[in-house]
Structure 1
């Protein structure tokens, strides 16, 4: 310490002499600046120089202190992580519940590793789970632990939690089993995967959820006999995929949902029994596709839906039994396509639907022993095309339909043993009206 102090005194003295010499050199002859003035000016320069050095030293000391504090925090976070992870792997359900809350609190505090903490909770749901209480593999208390994880994730995906929100985090539920659950009001802005997941509970709710600016996949998911609801949900700027999903006697509801710009697809999906409801849904710039879907005795309804823009496609879908309903729907733009669709022993109804613009096409569709009805429909604009469609058996009805400016095209449509009821509609020569 004494050596350092002595060196400091020598350095200060040398710096003072150098400063005084520089002052004398820069200020000209001695008569313009007296010796006392030169000394005072030199001292002032040394004071400024010392202040700068002191500031640099203080800043450096603060950085070292902050680094030590950061390392201490990281060590503490790592210890909390190990403790929470250990609790999640405990045999006792009460301890696992404590681990869920501990991991969630750590995710809120440890921003740099928030995604890792969220991944651990999602990984827990991906672990094998037996939901049937009569099975030998059933574990008491496990359902409560999983429901708590879902609740914690839901609470962190709300708009009211800006600082601790997990909305932009990636959520991987691939092959997870959901024995019920509530995701209502969540905001999904990142990548979310429910691929190959099993939905086996009585009710899983996504009501009022927002799928915004991200990608959510239910590819290959399996929906059992319960209900999955997306009522009043918003699909805007995102891509939501139900491709190759399987619906067996389940109820899937999108009542009053809003489909904005973005894609929602059910390509190659399989619907066996059950009900698929999009009543009062609104479509504006959205692309909704059921291409190649297989529907067996399923009920799909778009009653009172509003299609303003975008497209709704059932190309090459197959309907065997069941009902596809657009009753009281309002078409003001966009396109609905049932091109190349195969409909057997089923009903397609547009009862009291209103067409102001847009296109509805059945081109090259094959309808066998099925009913296609436009009872009380109003065609004020747009085009309804049955071009090259084939109707064998069954019925096609326009009873009480009103054509005020729209166009119904029947170019090369084929009717074999099918009952056709035109009502007030009279097709002109060439197959158009």
Structure 2
């Protein structure tokens, strides 16, 4: 996995960089003279003045006008000095306000982290909400990312499994397990809520890195309509073991999203209607061993999606009515050994879909009603029996855009 992309800190942009007063005034005066000279010259040209009469005597009115002009120049110079000083004062005030906001954020952050480490689940829950609020109010992206990283790190900490509640001796441990489980589920819910909010609005975390590597997701989690358009989102080695996890209508249009080595062993995970239009999404080495995973109606219109080396060994995985219209989708070296994988009604119209070296050893894989109208679909060196309905969906002879395994061809 590539290194996580960190959001650019705006702290350096807020650092106080001021010229010395003498230098600032000199440059301001030079700029003012150049501007005034340009304006004067423009007026002379515009009004078509002729050469100055050097024989004309200096009368009282002209002298008075020159005095007024002199005072005007002095007043303008004073105003210019005042403007430079006011600008410097404004910059100093802004820098001071940012330092105060950062200091206050740091103090609140320390208090929230202390609460998150408390022995009391209720206090931890308060720390979770405090950190989420700090992320919302952070004065720059770097501080917001720090709060998100701490919440993710908490989810990655090992936790004691449920000791059970059948024996009275385990009642206290069981209740504590449920309380701490509530803390974990609250963090997951807050993360999902913040990634649904439009980027650039208050409380939106879109564009920030999200590291859920190895996290166990055993509850309902709603990423519906979330947008992953920047940053790195990592759910590698995550375990989906219960509940309903929904990425319905989520948009993967930038950055990198990792589900590599994830385990789908229970519950149901929904990518129905999700749009994969940019960036890279990895399901490589993922294990689909139980439960149900839905990509029904998903649109693969750009970017790259990897299912390479994935093991479909027990789950019910649905790509029915999915549209492969752009980008690249890789199933190379995937193993279909059990369970059901359904491509019924899928449309292959523009993407490059690679099933090279895929193993169809058992289980049920369906392509009934699939449409192959463009793009390129490769089953080169695939082994095992042909998926159900594939030959009928492809037609005879197979179009040039579909390359079947040699063992599935007549005489193969």
Give the TM-score normalised by the residue count of structure 1.
0.72
Write out per-residue CA displacement over residues 245-287 of structure 1, whole angstroms, 9 at most, x where no aligned residue.
1221232110111111122111111221221110111110132
Q: Which residue among 238, 241, 253 is the counterpart of 1:197?
A: 238
Shift of 1:86: 1.6
The structure with higher relative contact order (CA 8 Å, sep 6+) is 2
Is residue 2:199 matched to residue 1:171? no
Q: Which residue among 125, 139, 153 is the counterpart of 1:123?
A: 153
CA distance in structure 1 between the aligned counterparts of 2:353 and 2:103, rounded to whole angstroms: 54
Is residue 2:165 matched to residue 1:145? no
Q: Which residue among 203, 209, 213 is the counterpart of 2:250?
A: 209
Unpaired runs of 5+ residues, structure 2, are: 1-52, 165-169
CA distance in structure 1 between the aligned counterparts of 2:391 and 2:378, rounded to whole angstroms: 17
CA distance in structure 1 between the aligned counterparts of 2:132 and 2:311, rounded to whole angstroms: 37
Name the counterpart of 1:391.
none
Name the counterpart of 2:382.
341
Q: Which residue among 375, 391, 401 is the counterpart of 1:359?
A: 401
CA distance in structure 2 between the aligned counterparts of 1:274 and 1:129, rounded to whole angstroms: 26
What does 1:206-355 correspond to in 2, within 5 Å? Answer: 206-343=247-384, 348-350=388-390, 353=393
Name the counterpart of 1:186.
226
CA distance in structure 2 between the aligned counterparts of 1:300 and 1:362, rounded to whole angstroms: 18
Partner SS, residue 224 of structure 2: coil
Shift of 1:169: 0.8
Unpaired runs of 5+ residues, structure 1, are: 1-26, 366-385, 388-409, 415-433
The structure with the greater share of residues assigned to strand is 1
Partner SS, residue 79 of structure 2: helix
Shift of 1:39: 4.4
Write out per-residue CA displacement over residues 309-339 of structure 1, whole angstroms, 9 at most, x where no aligned residue.
1232222122222111011112211233222
The structure with the greater share of residues assigned to helix is 2
Write out per-residue CA displacement over residues 153-181 of structure 1, whole angstroms, 9 at most, x where no aligned residue.
22221254532321111111112221122
- 2:378–2:404 Cα contact (<8 Å) kept: yes
Name the counterpart of 1:156.
194
CA distance in structure 1 between the aligned counterparts of 2:406 and 2:323, rounded to whole angstroms: 28
CA distance in structure 2 between the aligned counterparts of 1:351 and 1:317, rounded to whole angstroms: 17
Q: Which residue among 58, 65, 72 is the counterpart of 1:32?
A: 58
Name the counterpart of 2:120.
92
Shift of 1:357: 5.4
Partner SS, residue 384 of structure 2: strand
Partner SS, residue 60 of structure 1: helix
CA distance in structure 2 between the aligned counterparts of 1:203 and 1:58, rounded to whole angstroms: 58
Write out per-residue CA displacement over residues 341-393 of structure 1, whole angstroms, 9 at most, x where no aligned residue.
2216x85323863759553333334xxxxxxxxxxxxxxxxxxxx44xxxxxx
CA distance in structure 2 between the aligned counterparts of 1:209 and 1:233, rounded to whole angstroms: 5
C-alpha RMSD of matched pairs (Å): 2.7
Partner SS, residue 156 of structure 1: helix
Shift of 1:235: 0.6
- 2:368–2:388 Cα contact (<8 Å) kept: no
CA distance in structure 1 between the aligned counterparts of 2:329 and 2:298, rounded to whole angstroms: 13
Name the counterpart of 1:109.
137
Q: Which residue among 110, 124, 131 is the counterpart of 1:82?
A: 110
- 1:329–1:352 Cα contact (<8 Å) kept: no
Give the TM-score normalised by the residue count of structure 2.
0.76
Partner SS, residue 95 of structure 1: helix
Write out per-residue CA displacement over residues 10-53 of structure 1, whole angstroms, 9 at most, x where no aligned residue.
xxxxxxxxxxxxxxxxx999951656655444333222222222
CA distance in structure 1 between the aligned counterparts of 2:119 and 2:178, rounded to whole angstroms: 11
Residues 111 and 357 (structure 1 numbering): CA distance in 2 closer, same or farther, change over 3 Å? farther
CA distance in structure 2 between the aligned counterparts of 1:42 and 1:81, rounded to whole angstroms: 58
